[in-house]
Homo-oligomer: A and B are copies of this chain.
Amino acid sequence: MKKILIANRGEIAVRIIRTCHEMGIQTVAVYSDVDRQSPHVLMSTEAYPIGSAPSTESYLRIDKLIEAAKVSGAEGLHPGYGFLSENPKFAQAVIDANLIWIGPPVDAMINLGDKIKARQTAKRAHVPVSPGSESEITDEKVAKKIASSIGYPILLKAVGGGGGKGMRIVNKPSELSSSLERAMSEAGASFSDSRIFIEKYLPNPRHIEIQFMADAHGNVAAFTERECSVQRRYQKLIEESPSSFISRSLWKKMAECAIKIVTESGYVGAGTVEYLVDENKNFYFLEMNTRLQVEHPVTEMICGLDIVREQIRVASGKKLSLDEEYIGHRGHAIECRIYAENGFDNFIPSTGTIQELHLPDGFGIRFDHGIRMGQEITPYYDPLLGKLVAWGNSRKDTLNRMKRALKECHIVGIETTIPFCIAVISNRQFQTGNYNTHFIEKSFDELLRFKQDNMGIERELACAVAGIHTTNMKPEPTITNRKTTEASLWKSIGRKEGLS
């Protein structure tokens, strides 16, 4: 392939552009009106507008994406994650337009992307699956019946996609009706598919997943597990690999199951099998992600392989550049998702302009992001600004390095999850490696206390800075003086611009 269209935005579009350029492949970016100045547009070889800000008018418009690919002469299309990446209709439209779809075969997407079919596929492959509904929930009555048969609490989940969207936990029958309605509405908005199914709610699970790569020549490779139990609102916040909870022999079993599903479904490309693991180390198939995942860099850092590059190679019909089936690792890696959200205030999204940007760097640090100074963070899309990844020889070294890097990262003008991530990384429970998917809710008070304990002398300092700033910035009080100030400002602007 000589030219690839990336049907996405933000950090993942930037991430894919980087690998394409390293492979000597030209890139085609697409952008909505509010993304004209976004990094993926600036970095790409080519860029085409595809509509207005709401993603239904741009990044979810199959027709416009195909048209941009045709106009630009792109040979392949990479969907990234989110948006249309797990939509088999989109994949089919791409293939019908004689473009190479950088993703799994459409059949595999249908059978695995659809959460209900995925559970059936897993069962056929003899992979353990948790109790739940065998088909979609058509009405409340059916839901009530299934829920009481498997026992509350239960989980409502979207058939059409993941990421916590359209997901609701239901503790008792009285909550079922409104939760079902809300879940269906969210699922519809996020995936254009409002179907919901029911799953048994496991009390203290860890979220463990197996990333794999399969080529069209029958080669499969499964990587060391990723632990993704630090979640808020069912969305991952911090991921690491390897997991402190999973022995090599347990990993091997989970990896074998992943490969069984790949074989059963005729899967080709990159994918991830997600499991829930209970306290007794029983694991259950949770779902399959038929696309590149947000947290894929964690695996790249410990196995030394560019997963996007493998995706492109495989889509071109090439063999995997790996010759083993079970891929080991070197050291430890951890990822903190930097969202435009205030972690201590219910992860409320923050919008605004990035006034200044100082990013961490140095040995073992990687920051995959899609932001730049002066950029406007709008409420239209997912608030993920970037992913800070640290690598180290041991888990302890890696956590220390991550903390250093988080403290070095200054994204000025919006609130981010950096302070929250620092609190998590500094948390003793987290440091022991003994945590599950309830970590954030259970440790929230402790995390908040950590933050407040670190606000000693700095309170007064903040007052001093506000005082200095106010005093320094104040326009002079009289009209006469103000004119002078204006003139000198004009001069300083001129100087900045190089005019004087």
A positions within 8 Å CB-CB of B: 14-15, 18-19, 21-24, 43, 297, 300-301, 304-306, 321, 330-331, 356, 358-359, 361-369, 372-373, 393, 397, 400-401, 403-404, 407-408, 473, 486-487, 489-490, 493, 497, 499
Inter-chain CA distance A19–B403, complex, in Å, is 12
Say how far A476's CB is from chain B's closest CB, in angstroms: 12
- A331 — which chain B residues lie within 8 A by C-beta? 304
- A400 — which chain B residues lie within 8 A by C-beta? 22-24
17 interchain pairs (CB within 8 A)? A14-B362, A22-B401, A23-B400, A304-B331, A306-B364, A330-B330, A356-B373, A359-B359, A359-B361, A361-B361, A361-B367, A361-B368, A361-B369, A363-B368, A486-B486, A486-B487, A489-B490
Say how far A482's CB is from chain B's closest CB, in angstroms: 9
Inter-chain CA distance A330–B305, complex, in Å, is 12
- A306 — which chain B residues lie within 8 A by C-beta? 363-364
Nearest chain B residue, comparing its CB with the CB of A386: B361
Whether the pair B359, A18 counts as a contact (CB closer than 8 A) is: no
Other-chain contact of A499, B300, B330, B473, B493 (Cβ < 8 Å): B473
Given A18-B363, A19-B363, 14 more pairs with CB closer than 8 A: A18-B362, A21-B407, A22-B403, A305-B393, A306-B363, A330-B330, A356-B373, A359-B361, A361-B369, A365-B366, A373-B373, A473-B497, A473-B499, A489-B490
Whether the pair A393, B304 counts as a contact (CB closer than 8 A) is: yes
Copy number in the complex reads 2
- A373 — which chain B residues lie within 8 A by C-beta? 356, 373
Q: A407-B21, A473-B497, A490-B486 are in contact. Are A368 and B372 (CB under 8 A)?
A: no
Other-chain contact of A330, B23, B24, B304, B490 (Cβ < 8 Å): B304
Say how far A458's CB is from chain B's closest CB, in angstroms: 14
- A22 — which chain B residues lie within 8 A by C-beta? 397, 400-401, 403-404
- A473 — which chain B residues lie within 8 A by C-beta? 497, 499
Say how far A370's CB is from chain B's closest CB, in angstroms: 11
Say how far A21's CB is from chain B's closest CB, in angstroms: 5
Say how far A245's CB is from chain B's closest CB, in angstroms: 24
Say how far A331's CB is from chain B's closest CB, in angstroms: 6
- A363 — which chain B residues lie within 8 A by C-beta? 18-19, 297, 300-301, 306, 366, 368
Inter-chain CA distance A499–B364, complex, in Å, is 41
Other-chain contact of A404, B21, B356, B407 (Cβ < 8 Å): B21
Shortest Cβ-Cβ A-B pairs, 5 listed? A18-B362, A21-B404, A22-B400, A22-B404, A22-B401
Of A23, A362, A367, the most chain B CB neighbours within 10 A belong to A362
Say how far A266's CB is from chain B's closest CB, in angstroms: 29
- A23 — which chain B residues lie within 8 A by C-beta? 400
Inter-chain CA distance A411–B448, complex, in Å, is 39
- A368 — which chain B residues lie within 8 A by C-beta? 361-363
Inter-chain CA distance A256–B408, complex, in Å, is 40
- A499 — which chain B residues lie within 8 A by C-beta? 473
Say how far A373's CB is from chain B's closest CB, in angstroms: 7
Of A18, A368, A407, the most chain B CB neighbours within 10 A belong to A18
- A21 — which chain B residues lie within 8 A by C-beta? 404, 407
- A408 — which chain B residues lie within 8 A by C-beta? 18, 43
Nearest chain B residue, comparing its CB with the CB of A305: B393
Nearest chain B residue, comparing its CB with the CB of A474: B499
Whether the pair B397, A372 counts as a contact (CB closer than 8 A) is: no
Inter-chain CA distance A89–B476, complex, in Å, is 55
Inter-chain CA distance A22–B490, complex, in Å, is 45
- A18 — which chain B residues lie within 8 A by C-beta? 362-363, 404, 408
Inter-chain CA distance A367–B359, complex, in Å, is 11
Inter-chain CA distance A306–B364, complex, in Å, is 9
